[in-house]
Amino acid sequence: MVGEAKWNALSFEEVRSKSEKFSEDRDWNQFHTPRNLLLAMVGEVGELSECFQWKGEVAENLKGFSDAEKHHIGEEMSDVLVYLIRLADKCGVDLPSAVLAKMIKNEEKYPAHLARGRSTKYTELERESASKISQVEPERDSENQPEHEDKHVSELGKYEYWSSTYERELEDFHEEGAYGEDWFSRHTGRGRLRKFIEDQIINAFGQSSIGLLDVGCGNGLFLMEAAQSERLTFQELLGIDYAMNAIEVCRAYQEKKLKNRDWMTATQEGIDRIKFSLMDFLDNSLETRSFEVVHDKGTLDAMYLSSDENLGLYMRNLARVLTDRGLFIITSCNLTKEELMRLFSPPVFRSAKLLDELSHTSFTFGGQKGSAVTTLAIELTPGAPPRT
Ligand SMILES: C[S@@+](CC[C@H](N)C(=O)[O-])C[C@H]1O[C@@H](n2cnc3c(N)ncnc32)[C@H](O)[C@@H]1O
């Protein structure tokens, strides 16, 4: 039945206005205080519960119940719903908007790829996801240069890992219609990161319309969030990724968001303007225009976990695609602020000026201190990048 309307189209507003009239006609408004309505609703929940009492486990579609019993259950459910809507009305809660917003929040709390087929609470899922990140964190030594020889070469540095990750995400999306998660969003907080980035862009370029490149855009959710900015318009928003499955996820999400207008604050034009392209950022012949802003959330981490050669190619191409004194915004869980700033030092970049920093909660798992996720805004002036 997914995607097909099964019930009469009845709006919350219709129920709200009918029950308002019902109580006005009877002069019952005086009794309909929030507390009374809540208690009345709980009473109705009790009556609904009675229908199921002593029946053992009840089968789907109330198999074994008589028509009269089914009808009665429908009545009790209606009482609960009518009281709930009346309660929301009396509390000044916009219930339809609250329901939609809560459903989006639930999607974020219970990402399909983590929660599928399990009744595990979201706090436990968060802990699992945190441990997954902390397992790939290399040893840190903020006093010295990053120890490239010792670094933990992990799955996250491999193409196959990303290809299969987004293949699963695409399957989940087609089966359940639920969006996945972008990297670190639990730790950065989407709204907080977006505001930080907007502030940095406005400080650097004022309100002028600029281009932003998202390197290793994954499922594209970061760009779809950025596109909804009410403070900025972008001349170009380009997301690139080397995994075709990631680009397919981006395009599927973009299409759904455009069709359903399902993010309440969505500026459709912003989302429509994003382009997603299949590109390997390490490619020798990477051809894109120059961007005033390059954003990376988790992709440099993946490079860092692959090889020193890849890290070098990344630096070279970053220098190619960023305009002079361009803004590079990086979120990493592998490298400290000091390590990151050292990476962007000469000769590849003539100068690297730290403009601002957003720190996020570090998390502890199994008694061990986990990753501290760091976001930096750096003004980079490319030097003479070595051409190969
Ligand atoms: C940790 S994920 C982050 C995804 C996304 N930025 C987010 O915030 O959800 C790293 C991403 O980098 C992509 N990636 C890794 N190496 C790449 C390369 N050489 N060129 C382009 N994308 C790459 C992976 O496919 C993956 O989508």
Residues within 6 Å of ligand 1 by CB: 162, 182-183, 216-218, 222, 240-243, 246, 280-282, 297-299, 302
- Catalogue all structural domains in the chain, each as residue range(s) with its CATH number: 12-93 (1.10.287.1080), 125-382 (3.40.50.150)
Amino acid letter at 246? A
Q: Measure 144 CA to ligand 1 centroid, in angstroms.
A: 27
pLDDT of residue 308: 83
- For the CA of 222, the closest atom of ligand 1 is 8
Centre of ligand 1 to C-alpha 24, Å, is 59
> What spacing in Å lies between the alpha carbon of 261 and ligand 1's midpoint?
26
By the 8 A CB rule, do 299 and 281 touch?
yes
Q: Work out the pLDDT band at 5, boundaries 50, 70, 90.
A: low
Ligand 1 atom closest to the CA of 214, numbered from 1: 6
Angstrom distance (rounded) from CA 371 to CA 365: 10
Q: What is the token pair recorded at 273?
A: 């303007």
Residue 179 tokens read as 């969006």
Measured in angstroms, how far is the CA atom of residue 388 from the centroid of ligand 1? Answer: 23
Probe residue for ligand 1, chosen from 158, 160, 162 as the CB with the greatest number of ligand atoms within 8 Å? 162
Contact 169, 241 (CB under 8 A): no
| Atom number, ligand 1, closest to the C-alpha of residue 182 | 9
pLDDT, residue 333, reads 85
**Quick one: tokens of 157?**
């540095």
The alpha carbon of 289 and the centre of ligand 1 are apart by a number of angstroms equal to 20
46: part of which helix (H) or strand (E)?
A: helix 34-52
Q: Which atom of ligand 1 is nearest to the CA of 282?
A: 19
Please state at what angle helix 67-90 crosses helix 95-109, rounded to 10 degrees: 100
- Residue range 225-269, pLDDT digits in tens: 888 888 888 999 999 999 999 999 999 999 988 887 655 444 566
Residues 48-97: tens digit of each pLDDT: 999 999 998 999 999 999 999 999 999 999 999 999 999 999 999 988 87
